[in-house]
Amino acid sequence: MATAASKKDGGRRSELIRLGVAILTEKGFHNFSLDELVALAGVPKGSFHYYFNSKDAYCLEVIQAYHAYFARKLDMHLNDASLSPLERIKAFTEDAAIGMERHAFRRGCLVGNLSQELAALDETFRKALVDVLHDWRRRIRACLEEGKTSGEIHADADTAALSRYFWNAWEGAVMCAKLEQSREPLDDASAAFLAHLTRSAER
């Protein structure tokens, strides 16, 4: 049975990870300061090293936490049986655009941010980020396969290639939305992807 102290430790550790997700989606790895993190968490700097061996080990855990959070967001939309498969994708992109607007376009995608900074420098980070991206592709691909079954997408469509295309376009749109402080790049990417699928179904 967990003691009060262990529950408190677990709560502080979880809070440090939660704050890390927020900071890294906004600032990335190299602009991320442990001093800022512990100040926001209201804990001594030494507490960080009590919970995590290093900044790198901490960031890997933040990546996994972000992965779990984003997987839940994707599943909420992509598994919504009340909508058609393409409507589900549209619902996800709309929700994501609203989320970026809510944070005044300061926050982007943690995976996109870290990929630009770390993927070419550290193999451990590169593999962790690729694993997340592959999982996102798998989820979109499953939704697209349902679209083939329902007739929304052409039966011969290459859903593996389409899922890669979606995330390539979407991550670029997130970067542009943050740069331009506008949801227009997100709306453009969503509309273009869905229009491409609709046109292919009409062939």
Give the pLDDT of the chain (203 residues) as one tens digit per residue. 555 444 556 688 999 999 999 999 998 888 888 888 989 888 888 888 899 998 889 999 999 999 999 999 999 999 999 999 999 999 999 999 999 999 999 999 999 988 888 777 788 999 999 999 999 999 999 999 999 999 999 999 999 999 999 999 999 999 999 999 999 999 999 999 999 998 766 65
Measured distance CA(28)–CA(112) in Å, rounded: 9
Domain spans in the chain, listed from the N-terminal domain onward: 55-201
Contacts of residue 120, Cβ cutoff 8 Å, sequence gap at least 6: 126
55-201 to CATH, choices 3.40.190.10, 2.60.40.420, 1.10.357.10, 3.20.20.80: 1.10.357.10
Measured distance CA(188)–CA(83) in Å, rounded: 21
Confidence (pLDDT) at 5: 47
Asked if 80 contacts 88 with a C-beta cutoff of 8 angstroms, the reply is yes
Nearest to 23 by CA among 110, 122, 118: 110
Measured distance CA(115)–CA(112) in Å, rounded: 5
Confidence (pLDDT) at 202: 65
Confidence (pLDDT) at 8: 57
Confidence (pLDDT) at 64: 96
